[in-house]
Amino acid sequence: MLAFTLLITFMVVGIRILSEDMHPFEIAFFRNLFGLVALVPLVLRNGIEPLKTTKIGLLGLRGTLNAASLLLFFLAVTLVPVADIAAYSFTTPLFVSILAVLLLGEHMGPRRWSGLFVGFIGAMIILRPGVGAVNVGALYALGSAGFWALTVVTIKVLSRTEASVTITFYGVLILIPITFSAAVFFWTWPSLWQLLWLAVLGTAWITAQLCLTQALKIADAGLVMPFDFAKLLWASAAGILFFAEVPSIFTWIGSAVIFAAATYVAYRERQASSKPVPEPEPAS
């Protein structure tokens, strides 16, 4: 999960640099295309057996949700400081917890609901509605986090029966036509330098996806996702180093509140999952 956060931050920096001359949707398409190229050797090494699946419908849903999150994310990267992008993404564990209740039937007590409420207060501290105009990029970022939470829940369901390579391969395969259909309206042919950057981004992204999928496969989402907080550290450093963006005090405070809330929710989930199931009483 920590490797995932570092690779995602690297990708955000690359997107920001490339977006000076390319539309974000086109960057998204080429990143997915090169990501598939990077994934092919891994697929060939394992043979076609991992590609056999009976969950093609759920895999299609995963890819579509991921595409919605991705396109909103790429738009947000061009409009919001790098550290703020990381901060808004911290709402994902909170969205995941709510969706686990609504879609997976998981139980949540009042303490965990309180943790979620505090987490969204943290998001409002960063967003600060009512204090000037709300940045549309921030709304894109929150929308991306919501769709990504749906994707995470779907990946968690798929990981019960499907290999990480299977989930990742079909996810990328579905992303390519969706992002191409969005990019074609803003098409410009990239230069060789841009193609090199896009290839690096695609490789970094596919590696990040494999890291995340494997993390969700071997641990509960509620335990894995709080490590997402490391993105703020990498993003703050990258923002200062590459774009002279110093995170505001509200970004740090809001992020700390969200992180504390997400950690508490994960702790409560851990306690709930570790409780032994009571044995049934013998029939009289």
Q: What pLDDT is recorded for position 274?
A: 57
Predicted local confidence at residue 281, as pLDDT: 41
Provide the residue type at 227 as one letter: F
Instruction: List the Cα angle 78/5/214 in 5-degree steps.
Output: 125
pLDDT of residue 198: 93
Residue 135 per-residue DSSP state: P
pLDDT recorded at residue 250: 83
Q: What is the pLDDT of residue 275?
A: 55
Domain ranges of the chain: 2-271
* pLDDT for position 6: 92
pLDDT averaged per 10 residues in sequence order, the chain, 284 residues? 90 91 93 87 74 84 92 91 83 80 76 80 74 73 90 87 82 90 93 93 86 79 71 86 85 82 70 52 38
Spatial separation of the C-alpha atoms in residues 177 and 171, rounded to whole Å: 11
pTM: 0.79
Distance of CA 188 to the CA centre of its chain: 27
Q: Identify the helix (H) or strand (E) that includes residue 9.
A: helix 2-18
Q: What is the pLDDT of residue 280?
A: 40
Quickly list DSSP for 167-233.
HHHHHHHHHHHHHHHHHGGG--PPPHHHHHHHHHHHHHHHHHHHHHHHHHHHS-HHHHGGGGGHHHH
pLDDT attached to residue 278: 44
Of 39, 66, 62, nearest in space to 51 by CA: 39
Measured CA to CA, the distance from residue 224 to residue 2 in angstroms comes to 10
Question: How many whole angstroms separate alpha carbon 130 and alpha carbon 226?
Answer: 29
Residues 6+ apart with CB under 8 A from 49: none
Predicted pLDDT at 191: 92
Other C-beta atoms closer than 10 Å to the C-beta of 46 total 14
Question: For residue 111, what pLDDT is reported?
Answer: 76
- Cα dihedral value 262, 265, 266, 271, nearest 10: 160
CB contact at 8 A, 101 and 153: no
